[in-house]
Amino acid sequence: MCTNILVKTELEGAGFGRNGWFRVNRANVTYDHPFHVDLEHAVTVDFVDEAGGLDARVGVELTLESARALARALLAACEEAEAYESGARG
């Protein structure tokens, strides 16, 4: 809201929140003031169930560098997973 940097994506999956597992159907990604990590701005990722309550949320706050590392790790894992599923691996 302070930076106007907000990117949303639809997801299918589940997250483990304070009340146990819940359906995750969206990730809200921002670069804005974090709630906890001691940075002026952070990449924040909220995994949420849009139809769930306010507490159907798993949030992380990352440095820009960490967010890029996470993105690379996700892509690398996905590439390996696709190779595995297609039988090209192992």
Partner 1 sequence: MADTGSYEGMLAEVTKIPGHGGTWISVYLARPLGPGPFPGVVWLHHMPGWDEWTKEAARKLAYHGFMVAAPDLYCRAGTGAPEDVAAKVRAEGGVPDSQVVGDAAACRDFLRSLPQSNGKVGVTGTCSGGRHAYLAACLERFDACVDLWGGGVVMRPEDLTEKRPVAPIDYTKDLSCPLLGLFGEEDRAPSPEQVRQHEEELKRHGKAYEFHMYAGAGHGFFYHDRPAAYRAEAAVDGWRKVIAFFRQHLGGGAS
| Residue showing tokens 């974090």 | 34
Q: Applying CB under 8 A, what is the total number of residues that bind partner 1? A: 23
* Interaction between residue 54 and partner 1 (CB under 8 A): yes
Query: Does the footprint of partner 1 cover residue 25 (CB under 8 A)?
Result: no
83 lines the binding site for partner 1 (CB under 8 A): no
Binding site for partner 1 (CB under 8 A): 1-4, 6, 8, 28, 30, 32-33, 35-36, 38-40, 44, 46, 48, 53-55, 57, 59
